[in-house]
A and B are shown apart, each in its own frame.
Chain A
Amino acid sequence: MLELRHRGGGPGGAGAPPPREGEAAGGDHETESTSDKETDIDDRYGDLDSRTDSDIPEIPPSSDRTPEILKKALSGLSSRWKNWWIRGILTLTMISLFFLIIYMGSFMLMLLVLSIQVKCFHEIITIGYRVYRSYDLPWFRTLSWYFLLCVNYFFYGETVADYFATFVQREEQLQFLIRYHRFISFALYLAGFCMFVLSLVKKHYRLQFYMFAWTHVTLLITVTQSHLVIQNLFEGMIWFLVPISSVICNDITAYLFGFFFGRTPLIKLSPKKTWEGFIGGFFSTVVFGFTAAYVLSKYQYFVCPVEYRSDVNSFVTECEPSELFRLQSYSLPPFLKAVLRWETVSLYPFQIHSIALSTFASLIGPFGGFFASGFKRAFKIKDFANTIPGHGGIMDRFDCQYLMATFVHVYITSFIRGPNPSKVLQQLLVLQPEQQLNIYKTLKTHLIEKGILQPTLKV
């Protein structure tokens, strides 16, 4: 999330607060008695729960990863503006990269989502290592990555296999993998679990349990959400683009509104956020979402569900746009009629949904950002990592997106479409032949009743 910078202050103040805050936060912990009396390493880590936060190592001063080119170009400006320019340039770079990948297609987008997921996982796990100083538990790195692999295998098998149904039917081994997918995933996970139990070392129990839990919570957050993003993507690229752009727009416009008009603080957790920024961001995001939905709804490329065609061996987005994406006339309510003097307006129904999406992005999305801010304060880190100059790590950019991905997925399944047709087909093909026959007869009767199927059909 972009932070509102104080209009008067500079970025130099960012360095000083953490230690002071740390000591203040540590004060409460100092008064608590340590219940661990043992003298081994477990004791040291056990004390982490109750001793002062100032004992937690600060992240070493970040290496300045700004490329040389930028530094030379901006060397003439004062440090405040220089930082502003770096952030601005990086923002534009990221946005253009985003457009480029959209142009390259859904497969590249999927790869991008996967890389972001892996990087976020890595960042959070690294923070865990640093907090618990558990570099000297080599098993644990292996186990964390192994669990990431298992969970990804499980999710990809569940979701992506549905979409590749035609491709999968051809290959025998894949059929076997699909049929027993849950069992295989569970066996893989169990192997990791047993390895964890066998790797418990006498003096490091608590540390190992902490890292185990840390890994699992991280997996829960990053991996499930990234798979929901990919499922949204398959529904139609517009369901991927509009929510993400709404969140980005909300960040930027809330920042700008706060910069120019900000006065009243919003929440103690992020003192630089203001109510003016929040509300201004809300209205601009709704307008932006509305406009973006209007523009994107015209193109089949964005609107159609992504399908895998085995003949072409690639993803195609070609279809008859559904009703959501066909212009319809809506009559305006009377007071708007008086203002605008139009009788009706042509809208895509999707634009109405986009208002719901934008509202969520502006009102609830920020809570994801507050959660990440709280997390950073709790563990005394300034940024999740230093990957992007001026912005921090990948997690810093994506913290608001997470809740959004789940919301869009739940929204789609509840309001837009029912179950996934390819999944229904997949499950039908797995049934026993007699059951399939029974279902076939039932379906046939139903379809003929509804007039979808002609009774003259021979078979």
Chain B
Amino acid sequence: MTELRQRVAHEPDAPPEDKESESEAKLDGETASDSESRAEPAPPPASADDTPEVLNRALSNLSSRWKNWWVRGILTLAMIAFFFIIIYLGPMVLMIIVMCVQIKCFHEIITIGYNVYHSYDLPWFRTLSWYFLLCVNYFFYGETVTDYFFTLVQREEPLRILSKYHRFISFTLYLTGFCMFVLSLVKKHYRLQFYMFGWTHVTLLIVVTQSHLVIHNLFEGMIWFIVPISCVICNDIMAYMFGFFFGRTPLIKLSPKKTWEGFIGGFFATVVFGLLLSYVMSGYRCFVCPVEYNNDTNSFTVDCEPSDLFRLQEYNIPGVIQSVVGWKTVRMYPFQIHSVALSTFASLIGPFGGFFASGFKRAFKIKDFANTIPGHGGIMDRFDCQYLMATFVNVYIASFIRGPNPSKLIQQFLTLRPDQQLHIFNTLRSHLIDKGMLTAATEDA
């Protein structure tokens, strides 16, 4: 999310202002750059200024306002570069990064809860929060792994049992945590403990489910992971730029530095960016193909025949644009049309995730979620708009792009009872005959 900086240079209050909760300047990058910043030499201990020494020295002669701007800019570029490296390294590393980001976000939000409720002196509760995180992750990863790694799972006996009774095992683990919570209720701290319990569960709901939806999107094809995330980042940066140069009318009372000009400019810029990016990426198999686990090589492969979505097609340009552009038809990937929908969501609804996070920070009187990234705040600060996006992409794919997974359906079919199988088979047969896919004469045993 970007904000309008007052064009009139109010220098004196700029440094403290930069650190305030309103300044959500999002020159965003992606992914866990805390590893990046820790790799820098001698990070200063526990201060608001987490800027590495190197940068400090290099920028020491600039005024503090520009110094902050430069720090943010450099960190942004560092995060984006890190993102590209991770993409290059492949799906497995991406999954691990998503997992790390999830854990860090969970940790940040829970820490805020502790600070709000002064509940450091409930040692049980830290353990229980992490335990619940583990349980929910186990549940989700088990479901994902069972679907995608089906052949691998069937080979190994212990994995097969774990997968068959997966729900039961997950439920038992969760129940154990629940019972431990009930047994840990201490007489004077009931309310506090219930608050933290509720806080943990809402955080899990937000953080963990979304990160698993991100991984589902990833398995669909890396383009479904990269394009949405890039659109959100682009929207942040573009809205900031447009707001910086043209911003006048405030957008919402919640974030007074956002403007309508930034919002609308960001919208158009993001749509264009999405179109271009999807054009570029649709050409490469490694982005377009679903990620599959290859049993022989024991690794992930992205090799396939690209589906219809990723083959160039001719589209007739409507009359209006024909006269302007002078072309009769244009060759596009169908995916680019979908990317318009994704970019639109990223620019119009994504900001609401940011407003929600702003409201949250105001409500609990915190400036940033944490101090992990110098100049930007915590990991949650960078990812607050991404969450709605991940769910939207997943729902979009499930509704419009692909239906259910055929191989999974066959597996489910094989576990049914014979009479149920027969019933389904007959229904399918009559359905296919109705549709004309089957005729009684041409069908052979």
Contacts and interface: CB of A to CB of B under 8 A. Distances in A.
A7 interface: no
Nearest to B426: A453
Interface string A408-438: 0011011101110100110111111101111
Given A24-B188, A428-B428, A206 B363 contact: yes
Interface stretch (B53-61, B214-222, B431-439): B431-439
B188 A430 contact: no
B404 A49 contact: no
Contacts of B409: 424, 427-428, 431, 439
Interface stretch (A107-115, A140-148, A213-221, A236-244): A213-221
Contacts of B100: none
Interface stretch (B62-70, B193-201, B278-286): B193-201
B315 interface: no
A419 B412 contact: yes
B187 A268 contact: yes
A318 B364 CA distance: 57
A75 B47 CA distance: 72
B195 A431 contact: no
A412 B417 CA distance: 15
A70 to B, nearest CB: 34
Given A217-B202, A431-B404, A452 B188 contact: no
B189 interface: yes
A98 B435 CA distance: 47
A250 to B, nearest CB: 16
Contacts, number: 208
Given A182-B398, A205-B362, A459-B440, A220 B404 contact: no
B46 interface: no
Contact of A459 (B396, B399, B433): B433
Contacts of B183: 267
A187 to B, nearest CB: 9
A218 B427 CA distance: 40
Residue among A32, A38, A200 with most chain B CB within 10 A: A200
A53 B395 CA distance: 43
Given A447-B421, A447-B422, A439 B410 contact: yes
A27 B191 CA distance: 13
A53 B168 CA distance: 39
Contact of B422 (A193, A403, A417, A453): A453
B234 interface: no
A414 B169 CA distance: 10
Contact of B418 (A403, A417, A450): A450
B406 A421 contact: no
A274 interface: no
Contacts of A25: 187-191
A24 B424 contact: no
B193 to A, nearest CB: 7
Interface string B141-179: 000000000000000000000001101100100010011
B201 A459 contact: no
Interface stretch (B23-31, B126-134, B348-356): B348-356
A183 B356 CA distance: 22
B437 A433 contact: yes
Interface stretch (A87-95, A285-293, A337-345, A375-383): A375-383
Nearest to A181: B399
A81 interface: no
B253 interface: yes
Contact of B349 (A32, A194, A406): A194
B171 A407 contact: yes
Interface residues of B, number: 80
Given A49-B195, A220-B201, A424 B424 contact: yes
Given A378-B190, A424-B413, A440 B360 contact: no
A184 B87 CA distance: 32
B406 A439 contact: yes
Residue among A38, A183, A456 with most chain B CB within 10 A: A183
A88 B220 CA distance: 59
A30 to B, nearest CB: 11
A414 B175 contact: no
A367 interface: yes
A444 interface: yes
A411 B191 CA distance: 33
Contacts of B191: 25, 53, 378-379
B445 interface: yes
Nearest to B414: A446
Nearest to B179: A367
A458 interface: yes
A20 B188 CA distance: 12
Interface in A182-225: 182-183, 186, 190, 193-194, 196-198, 200, 202, 205-206, 208-209, 213-214, 216-217, 220
A367 B182 CA distance: 7
Given A406-B171, A421-B420, A370 B182 contact: yes
B165 A414 contact: yes
A440 B425 CA distance: 7
A407 B362 CA distance: 40
A182 B392 CA distance: 10
Nearest to A218: B198
Nearest to B195: A49
B438 to A, nearest CB: 6
B205 A194 contact: no
30 contacts: A28-B188, A50-B118, A180-B399, A182-B395, A183-B396, A190-B392, A194-B352, A205-B363, A213-B198, A370-B182, A374-B182, A410-B167, A410-B168, A414-B167, A419-B412, A424-B412, A427-B403, A428-B409, A428-B428, A430-B403, A432-B403, A438-B406, A439-B410, A442-B410, A443-B410, A443-B428, A447-B425, A452-B421, A457-B445, A459-B439
Interface of A: 24-25, 27-28, 32, 35-36, 38, 42, 46, 49-50, 53, 179-180, 182-183, 186, 190, 193-194, 196-198, 200, 202, 205-206, 208-209, 213-214, 216-217, 220, 267-269, 364, 367, 370-371, 374-375, 377-379, 403, 406-407, 410-411, 413-415, 417-419, 421, 424-425, 427-433, 435-440, 442-444, 446-448, 450, 452-453, 455-459
The 8 tightest CB contacts between A and B, nearest first, are A378-B190, A205-B363, A418-B415, A427-B404, A183-B399, A206-B363, A414-B168, A378-B191
